[in-house]
Structure 1
Amino acid sequence: MNRLTAASYVAELTDGFVGEGEPNQGIFALLLSTLHLLAAGETEMAMRAFEARLIGLAGFKPELNACSGCGEPLTETKIRFSANLGGLLCQACASAENKITVFNRGTLEVLKTLYRWKLTKLHQLKVPEILRQELSALLRAYIEYNLEKRLKTTEFLDRLYKSSPGRGTNI
């Protein structure tokens, strides 16, 4: 993905989570830091970190340490996530939920790392392709749920990459 497309995406995300004329220094600092990383060529993990942190700064950080339904710790290797409940679910609670996303425990650990690490250290994070895809899908679904719409840049990228066989979106 090129840097201009990535920059457009983070700008649209920012616009979606921040009201017009509403000052938010934390989100502005995150946007500026991310744009610097994008300009330096760090795209995919910089965008994932931006998405995760923006969600948190906007007040929608998901529960990542216990089941959002019952509060019990999670021990399964397959993790279930409910955008509606704003976090992880154990197998029992997930059975009562209509729309859940299932992903690997490794994806959860990467997401937790994105919240902990400084943005400038992201280039050190080596994430397998399957976990990057799961993380992207998870964050996209959660963002679209909270914004109550699909972003124009993601629609554009989906069309763009559909016309290029063998390439998946990294947004």
Structure 2
Amino acid sequence: MLHRVEGIVIRSMDYGEGNAIITLCTENAGKVGVLVRGAKKVKSRHAALIQLFTVGEFVFFRNNGGLGTLNAGEITKSHHPLRQDLIKAAYASYACELLDRVLHDEETGNFWFRQLTACLNALEEDKEPGIIINVYEMKILQAAGYGPELDACVVCGADKPDDQLRVSARLGGVLCRSCKHQDPPAMEITPRALKLLRVFARLDLTRLGNVDVKAETQAELKKIMRAFMDHQLGLKLKSQSFLDQLDKYNI
């Protein structure tokens, strides 16, 4: 059966001699794998279609699920600037790998497609990459059913003053002073960081504007969101390790 989908290349790997297999996050068909024959050969008309972050219309043949075979394709947006910039490429790769690991084959992909599209566009538009990724991670957690409780104590449900709260990645939300013994390693959180996390939880990434956040608050947000991702999803991502290396050397 012939399929025509709009999709984003979230993974690309060599296959055999001169071929490639791409994984697409599609708007209406979820995540699909497509074999692109001859894509790695010189002067291949499909060479540009297999590049990571590429958005396009893909026409492929597939019988009874499984891997499709590309018939034709047309690029809608190449996102070439993301591949030219080390920092942008690192964050964009993380966004794609994270989605690839979370999204199941054939799972309805409209929400994921819109969020990834917004993420890649924002990175290309020079918005703050750390904030973009934090919002994106929040959307991933929420869609996967692990969105943190940020408006009331996750244990007792009490609504306490913000300066008395801690945040527990293990329990999945904020803790009031009376309940902090439930998770002694719970992190302190500043009112500013908590306010931003609440904004992230309510914000659709497609509506993200330019956000000016102090460096120390960005560092706090990154630490908290990383803890939530590690505890709630427990994924080991190559792209995350690379981002950690960039941080280590202050690149």
Q: Does 1:24 align with 2:109?
A: yes
Q: Give the TM-score taking structure 1 as reference length.
A: 0.85
The structure, 1 or 2, with the larger RCO (C-alpha pairs under 8 Å, 6+ apart) is 1
Helix, strand or coil: the match of 1:124?
Answer: coil
Q: State the identity as a percent.
A: 30
Q: Which is richer in helix?
A: 1
Flag the 1:115–1:149 CA change in 2: closer, same or farther, 3 A: closer
State the Cα RMSD in Å.
2.0
2:218 maps to a residue whose letter is R
Alignment map for 1:71-110 (pairs within 5 Å): 71-77=157-163, 79-110=165-196
Residue 152 of structure 1: aligned partner = 238
Query: What is the CA deviation profile of residues 25-68 of structure 1, one whole-angstrom value per residue up to 9, with x for unaligned ones?
Result: 21121011111111222222211111111211111111111001
Flag the 1:85–1:118 CA change in 2: closer, same or farther, 3 A: closer
Residue 133 of structure 1: aligned partner = 219
Helix, strand or coil: the match of 1:29?
Answer: helix
Instruction: Return the offset for 1:22.
Output: 2.3
Report how many aligned residue pairs link the two structures: 165
Q: Does 1:57 align with 2:143?
A: yes
Residue 10 of structure 1: aligned partner = 95
Query: Would you say the 8 A contact 1:63–1:87 is kept in 2?
Result: yes
Q: Which is richer in strand?
A: 2
1:11 maps to a residue whose letter is C
Select the structure of larger CA radius of gyration: 2
Helix, strand or coil: the match of 1:2?
Answer: helix
**Structure 1: gaps of 5 or more residues:** none
Instruction: Return the offset for 1:120.
Output: 5.5
Q: Give the TM-score taking structure 2 as reference length.
A: 0.60
Distance 1:118 1:134 in 2: 21
Distance 2:156 2:211 in 1: 32
Distance 1:110 1:41 in 2: 20
- Comparing 27-36 and 16-25, the one that deviates more: 16-25
- Comparing 145-154 and 27-36, the one that deviates more: 145-154
Flag the 1:32–1:47 CA change in 2: closer, same or farther, 3 A: same
Distance 1:71 1:116 in 2: 19
Instruction: Return the offset for 1:4.
Output: 0.7
Query: Would you say the 8 A contact 1:144–1:151 is kept in 2?
Result: no
1:74 maps to a residue whose letter is K
**Structure 2: gaps of 5 or more residues:** 1-85
Flag the 1:118–1:24 CA change in 2: closer, same or farther, 3 A: closer
Flag the 1:148–1:121 CA change in 2: closer, same or farther, 3 A: closer
Residue 3 of structure 2: aligned partner = none
2:171 maps to a residue whose letter is L
